[in-house]
Amino acid sequence: MTLYEELVARGLIAQVTDEEEIKELINSGKAVFYIGFDPTADSLHVGHFMALCLMKRLQMA
The model's pLDDT over 3-16, given as tens digits with 9 standing for 90+, comes to: 999 999 988 888 99
- Nearest alpha-carbon partner for 18 in 31, 34, 29, 2: 31
d(C-alpha 55, C-alpha 61), whole Å: 10
The domain of 26 spans 3-60
- Examine the pLDDT at 39 and tell me if it is beyond 80: no
- Examine the pLDDT at 24 and tell me if it is beyond 80: yes
d(C-alpha 54, C-alpha 43), whole Å: 20
- What's residue 52's pLDDT? 85
- What's residue 5's pLDDT? 94
Chain mean pLDDT for the chain:
87
* Number of domains forming the structure of the chain: 1
